[in-house]
Structure 1
Amino acid sequence: MKNFLLAPSILSANFAKLGEDIKKVILAGCDMIHYDVMDNHYVSNLTMGPIILKSLKKYGISIPIDVHIMAKPVDNLIKQFIKIGVDYISFHPETSKNIYNTIQIIKKNGCKVGIAINPYTSLNCLDYIMNEIDMILIMSVNPGLEGQKFMPFILNKLNYVNKLIKKNNSNILLEVDGGVKINNISKIAKTGVDIFVFGSEIFKKNNYNKIIYKIKKKLKKIKN
């Protein structure tokens, strides 16, 4: 069976008890933490920076952390997160003056590189970097706002990217972010997705163990 990974986005967590809330979701069975960075410039929202993540690391959050940077310019922020010690850093091509140079900043410091693609962004940016990256993050909503619905046409985009990865005989992970729910995860999983980012579907529930168990039960039925 394919090894699906669950990555709760802590943007939906209880910020009054952020460290505690994250530990609860980890104990419930999630595989990694998705950390959204927004600057109220590239996207119309303002969220967390490196200082909060540094505090969470000190608090004892030690599972893989996937930092998704929605900010422009991006290179300096990347360097700050690298110092903290994260596992994945994803950035949007539009936020970089030179995509190749930004990728190298991440790689040379031992982090894995993710390229984040907005719903209406062309996939042409992947043509020359497939051998340089570790993950492709497909946004299934417009970035910046919580609680949006999954855009159905993204299923075709996910299928296409999955075929592109297989064509390149690559170990690139395919991640999806936005509107992922228990009632649509099965059809999303069939496109070849490896990592599912969840927000309110997990953090707005009273029982993390129960909802994560239900999600994993659904995924166990998927054959890829």
Structure 2
Amino acid sequence: MLGADFSRLGAEALDVMQAGCDLLHLDVMDGHFVPNLTMGPDLVAGLRRACPDVCLDAHLMVQHPQEFIEPFVHAGADHLTIHVEAEHPQADPRATAELIRKAGLTAGLAINPGTDLEKILPYVADFELLLVMSVQPGFAGQSFRPEVLAKTEALSAAAPSGVRIQMDGGVAPVNAEACRKAGCDVLVAASAIFKAEDRRSAIESIRGPVSQADS
């Protein structure tokens, strides 16, 4: 949703869902882990009211994710993805994941493009979803970094069956097939959908044979 028109966010959400998106990806930023600020709990709660039956996938680009769990549970999020680079209880992202699951949500773990793959490998069996950032997180509209495809392929090979692999950042029709071949089954697209003249066509082009494409 980062590429949407924030002055009419509920209408934008409904529009892309009607155009064929499978869920809404919400980029939550705290101004510390990344330099931008966006999408607090009140905004997410508003989207929940506008789209009561849609899966809200909240990506917590925040330094202390455990502090954000309760507010986003109450706001209506269905899934929370945290960063391996963030600060966690006992310096272990699994401790944060346990708090997320105790709150009734599923948990994902993200890795930035510049972070060594070895940092996330110990946790691949402990999350429902693994997210590879294909841009430096913080702002929409950045160009896809193709060097993350090798990392994605290795992560997909290491992950147990049933763990979903998500790509986020600069995803567009021109690179969606490469993402799928690297092992992704969830693609996050912002500008490529929201700035498209024909959003349905853009979504279909991005999805291709991929089972999920979201905004």
TM-score by length of 1: 0.87
Query: Is 1:164 aligned to residue 158 of structure 2?
Result: yes
Separation in 2, partners of 1:102, 1:219: 29
Would the alpha carbon gap of residues 187 and 129 (structure 1) be closer, same or farther in structure 2, given more than 3 Å must change?
closer
How far 1:129 moved relative to its partner?
Answer: 2.6
- Provide the aligned length of Structure 1 versus Structure 2: 208
Instruction: Give the Cα–Cα distance (whole angstroms) in 1 for the partners of residues 51 and 187 of structure 2.
Output: 23
Q: Which residue of 2 aligns with 1:215?
A: 206
More off after superposition, 20-29 vs 126-135: 126-135
Is the CA contact 1:96–1:102 (under 8 Å) kept in the aligned structure 2? no
Whose relative contact order is higher, 1 or 2, with alpha carbons under 8 Å and at least 6 apart?
1
Say yes or no: does 1:48 pair with 2:42.
no
Which residue is equivalent to 1:155? 149
Q: How far apart are the structure 2 equivalents of 1:125 and 1:219?
A: 27
Alignment partner, residue 174 of structure 1: 165
Identity %: 35
Distance 1:160 1:131 in 2: 14
Question: After superposition, what is the alpha-carbon deviation per residue over 1:29-53, rounded to whole angstroms, capped at 9, x for unaligned?
Answer: 1111100011111101111111101
- Distance in 1 between residues matched to 2:111 and 2:157, nearest whole Å: 16
Partner of 1:75: 66
What value does the CA root-mean-square deviation take over the aligned residues? 1.6
Q: Does residue 139 of structure 1 match 2:133?
A: yes
SS in 1 for 2:139: coil
- How far residue 218 of structure 1 moved from its aligned partner, in angstroms, is 6.3
Choose which of 9, 13, 17 in structure 2 pairs with 1:26. 17
C-alpha distance in 1, partners of 2:9/2:186? 22
Shift of 1:101: 1.8
Alpha-carbon distance in structure 2 between the residues aligned to 1:81 and 1:20: 21
Q: How many Å apart are 1:62 and its aligned residue?
A: 2.1
Gaps of 5+ in 1: 1-9
Q: Matched residues in 2 for 1:149 and 1:71: separation?
A: 22
TM-score, scaled relative to structure 2: 0.90
